[in-house]
Amino acid sequence: MHVEFTRIPHRDALPPYRTTSIGKMIDSYLQSKSELDDHAIHLLFSANRWELASTIEDLLESGTTVLCDQYAFSGIAFSASKDLPYEWCRSPDVGLPAPDLVVYLDITPEKVRQRGEYGNERYEKEEMQRRVREQYKRIESENVVQWATIDAGREREQVAADIWTRVEPLVDGTDHAIAKLWV
């Protein structure tokens, strides 16, 4: 919302990128139309992020803000929630462009369930969401990147205001080189 109002040059990058060949396999899996081993789907999600890594870097270098709906931390949280080794989950994403800020919208599975269209995809199950939430807390505690946890169980306007407070200082860009995750 604020991006549109302030006319910040930006590009949305919404992983998984479901239009690529890899993205189509992921989409089929998420909609429960196909089955894949947990290791294989994790690697596909990572490969999907790598498909856009150079584009993200080019955009950032040109001064364009890049907004990702989900990124490497999401892959770790979901796969580690399925009892895959945490370090193994992190490994395929080492070297991806690091975000300047992660905005984690924290909401209880009970509140999410009350919203429309919940439960249509494979991971939209209450117990899975609980485990994922715990993994996000673990990731945040590692202080890999600047992290803002926002209570998303409130009114949309309150959530948007909190997000903007954290994002606004970054909209004019940063004075540092593009960092790499875990490098």
pTM score of the predicted model: 0.84
Domains of the chain: 2-170 (3.40.50.300)
Summarised one tens digit per residue, pLDDT across range 75-99 is: 999 999 999 999 999 999 999 999 9
Q: What is the mean pLDDT of the segment spanning 29-54?
A: 93
Specify the pLDDT at position 77. Answer: 97
Question: In the predicted model, what is the mean pLDDT of the chain?
Answer: 87
Q: What is the mean pLDDT of the segment spanning 33-44?
A: 96
Between CA 38 and CA 181 the distance in angstroms is 22
Helix extents (H) in the chain: 2-6, 21-30, 38-61, 72-80, 86-90, 109-113, 126-141, 156-167
Give the lowest-confidence range in 37-41, 57-61, 108-112, 134-138.
108-112
In three-state secondary structure terms, 10 is strand
CA gyration radius, the chain: 16
In the predicted model, is pLDDT for residue 6 greater than 60? no
CA atoms within 13 A on the CB side of 128: 11
Give the lowest-confidence range in 37-41, 54-58, 78-82, 170-174.
170-174
